[in-house]
């Protein structure tokens, strides 16, 4: 089974802090994704990556950056955390080849910015 592991289930940080959310997958997937999930808004794509050192903006990249130095790890960075970034953050991965690939999700990090 694919395992996508997010480093923290719950995280509390202060406004202005630099916040790192880490995600690791163990199935050699090329694609990795970061979403945020808010009530009534579903999942919104922040950033995704097709390969090491590659990144593409999703629908809501403002206030975020990402890093993919190794294939298995995809980090989401909040450069200067703000209260409107309080949310559930979900990481996912998928294989690139063949199309028709499901995404595999971690259990999420519930981030509160005070």
Partner 1 sequence: SQQGEEDPQALSIQEGENATMNCSYKTSINNLQWYRQNSGRGLVHLILIRSNEREKHSGRLRVTLDTSKKSSSLLITASRAADTASYFCATDAGAGNMLTFGGGTRLMVKP
Gap between the Cα atoms of 3 and 77, Å rounded: 22
Exactly one of 40, 62, 63, 114 binds partner 1 (CB under 8 A); that residue is 40
**β-bridge mates for residue 101, sequence order:** none
Q: What is the largest CA-CA distance in the chain?
A: 43
Q: For the chain, what percentages of helix, strand and coil (3-state, to nearest 5) are there?
A: 5, 55, 45
Applying CB under 8 A, which of residues 48, 55, 75, 85 lies at the interface with partner 1? Answer: 48
Instruction: Work out how close the CB of 58 gets to partner 1 at its nearest, in angstroms, rounded to a whole number.
Output: 8
Smallest gap, in angstroms, from Cβ of residue 20 to partner 1? 19
> Which of 12, 41, 52, 114 lies at the binding interface for partner 1 (CB under 8 A)?
41
């Amino acid at each position: 089974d694919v395992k996508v592991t997010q480093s923290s289930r719950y995280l509390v940080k202060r406004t202005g802090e630099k916040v790192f959310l880490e995600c690791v997958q163990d199935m050699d997937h090329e694609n990795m994704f970061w979403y945020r999930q808010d009530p009534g808004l579903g999942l919104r794509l922040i950033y995704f990556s097709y390969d090491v050192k590659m990144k593409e903006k999703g629908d809501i990249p403002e206030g975020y950056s990402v890093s993919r130095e190794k294939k298995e790890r995809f980090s989401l960075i909040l450069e200067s955390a703000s209260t409107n970034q309080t949310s559930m953050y979900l990481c996912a991965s998928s294989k690139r080849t063949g199309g028709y690939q499901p995404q595999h999700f971690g259990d999420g990090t519930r981030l509160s910015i005070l």
